[in-house]
Amino acid sequence: MFNQPNGTDGRSTVKFTESDAVVDKLISAIHETRDRVTELEETVSEQQDTLAEQQETIDEQATTIEEQDERIDALEEELASYRTENERDKADIRSTVTDADEQSSVNLNVIDKLNTKMKEITGELKRVNGGRSSLEQIVRLPDAIATEALSKNQLRSRAIVSEIKSVKSKTAMKGRKVIDSRAIRDKLRETYSKAHHQTVSRVMEFIEEMGGDDVRLKQGKKRKKLVFEPELIEQLDRAEQLDGEEIDDVHTNGVMATVRGG
């Protein structure tokens, strides 16, 4: 057997083992550090990608803002141009209105004179025809003559005014009678079974034409309406048909010519 060297009793073996353990720990720490560095590199890479995306978004937003600024500038120029044109148009309108007002004053004077002349003519016609309106004279015509002389729509108009008090109506100011297009249509359907929109309109127009100053055709909110003076309503209600022998030159030349002309 060999004798161990002096001063060695196994302690060197223990020291060697402890050194190995330290080395292993260092190696393990190095590996952990490397793993941590790798993770940090990946995190940094991801953050760099995110920053790149954010920068791209910022660039896009900057481009959009620049485009919006250009659009705003263009709109401001357009608005300024519009304001200038608007002021110019207002000035033109004010000038036109002033001219129109002056012209209207002249036109109103002319209209007043024409209305006065029309009233004189209407009064003279009534005097010649015994004070009767054209509508009343049409009602007084014998059926045979009316059928021969009047058009279909004129006959329909005659049927309406012949039974004026039985037509559904409303009473307006000063006792005026107001009959709308629906009431005219309903009354025509009672007599003729049907009444188209154009037929109703033409009948109302003819009644206004023959009624003179005593009938006015107006446009209501929903439908047209005829406004009758109370005196005409009474005249029409009292009107009686003439016998054939009572038809004289006044009726023949006056009413018939007026009807055919209308």
Mean pLDDT over each residue of the chain, to the nearest integer: 77
For 137, the token pair is 């004279």
Do the Cβ atoms of 228 and 215 come closer than 8 Å? yes
Quick one: average pLDDT of 26-42?
A: 88
Amino acid at 130: G
pLDDT in tens, 109-160: 776 675 565 455 455 445 444 556 788 888 888 888 989 889 999 999 999 9
Per-residue confidence (pLDDT) for residue 46, from 0 to 100: 85
Share of the chain above pLDDT 70, in %: 73
Under the banding of pLDDT at 50, 70 and 90, the label for residue 186 is very high
Q: 158: which residues sit within 8 A by CB, 6+ positions away?
A: 138, 139, 141, 146, 150
Per-residue confidence (pLDDT) for residue 243, from 0 to 100: 57
Per-residue confidence (pLDDT) for residue 9, from 0 to 100: 53
For the cut 50, the answer to whether the pLDDT of residue 86 exceeds it is yes
Has domain 133-261 been given CATH number 1.10.150?
A: no
Per-residue confidence (pLDDT) for residue 1, from 0 to 100: 45
Under the banding of pLDDT at 50, 70 and 90, the label for residue 252 is very low
Cα–Cα distance for residue pair 162/97, rounded to 1 Å: 47
Do the Cβ atoms of 243 and 142 come closer than 8 Å? yes
Quick one: average pLDDT of 46-58?
A: 83
Per-residue confidence (pLDDT) for residue 132, from 0 to 100: 66
* Degrees to nearest 5, angle at CA 117 with 114 and 119: 110
